[in-house]
Amino acid sequence: MKWNERTTGQRIKLLRGAVTQEELAENAGLSIATVRKAEQDRGQISLPTLLRLAHVLGADIPVIVGQQAPRRALLADDRTTLRELSRTVHDTAAGIGTDREPVDFADDLAAGWDAYRAGRIGVAGQFAASCVRDAATALADAAEDRRMAARGVLADAYRLAAYVANQFGVRDLAYAAIGHAAD
C-alpha cells in the first residue's frame, strides 16, 4: 500500500513505531485520548496537535497527512537544516526576524551556491537559511536607492533555498521559496 493511500491514523501509528501511545502523548504534551482519537481517525486533527505530533515523530506535517512519503534516509542534521530552512523561508516572507543587525553575507551566499554545485546539499541548506535571513534584514534596512539590488540578493537566497528543498524532496518548501524569489 502506498503512503498516501493510508489514513492519517495509520501513518501516525507507522511513524510512532515501537513508542507507545502513552509515550507519544507525554512527549507531545497531549492527552492519551487525543493520540488515540488521531490514530483511530475520529474527527479532524487540529494544526497545533499536528505540529506537536510532527515534532515528536520527527516528521513533517505533509508526511503525516499523506502529501509526501517519509524521508527516512535523511540524516538528523539534514532534518534539522530543513526545519530551520523552512522556518526561515516562511518567517522572512512574513516579515518576521528581519529586525536583526545587518551583516555582510555575500561570501556566504557564494559559498552556499558552491556547496550546492558540489553536491553538499546539507551544507548548502545551512548557508541558504542564514543568507535568506541576512538578505531579508539587509532589504529591510536598505536605503531607497539600494532596495532593488537588495531585492535581487534576497531573490537569489530564496532560489538557493528552493533548490536545496527540491533536492531533499520537500516540494512544498521548494515551491514557497521559489515563489518568494519571484516576488
pLDDT digits (tens, 9 = 90+) for 126-174: 999 988 988 888 888 888 998 898 888 889 999 999 999 988 888 888 9
- Angstrom distance (rounded) from CA 70 to CA 59: 7
What is the CATH T-level fold of the domain 3-64, as seen in this structure? 434 Repressor (Amino-terminal Domain) (1.10.260)
> Mean pLDDT throughout 115-134?
90
Contacts of 97 (CB under 8 A, 6+ apart): 88, 91, 133, 136, 137
CA torsion, ordered 85, 86, 92, 96, to nearest 10 deg: -110
For 117-181, give the secondary structure using H, E and C.
Answer: HCCCHHHHHHHHHHHHHHHHHHHHHCCHHHHHHHHHHHHHHHHHHHHHHHHCCCHHHHHHHHHHH
| Cα 43 → chain centroid | 26
> Mean pLDDT throughout 23-44?
94
Q: How confident is the model at residue 71 (pLDDT cuts 50, 70, 90)?
A: low
pLDDT digits (tens, 9 = 90+) for 157-166: 999 999 999 8
Mean pLDDT of the chain: 87
Write down the domain spans for the chain: 3-64, 76-182
The count of other CB atoms within 10 Å of the CB of residue 153 is 19
The pLDDT, as a whole number, for residue 94 is 83
Between 140 and 7, the higher pLDDT residue = 7
Question: The C-alpha cell of 171 is what?
Answer: 516540494
> Mean pLDDT throughout 121-128?
90
Is residue 6 over pLDDT 90? yes
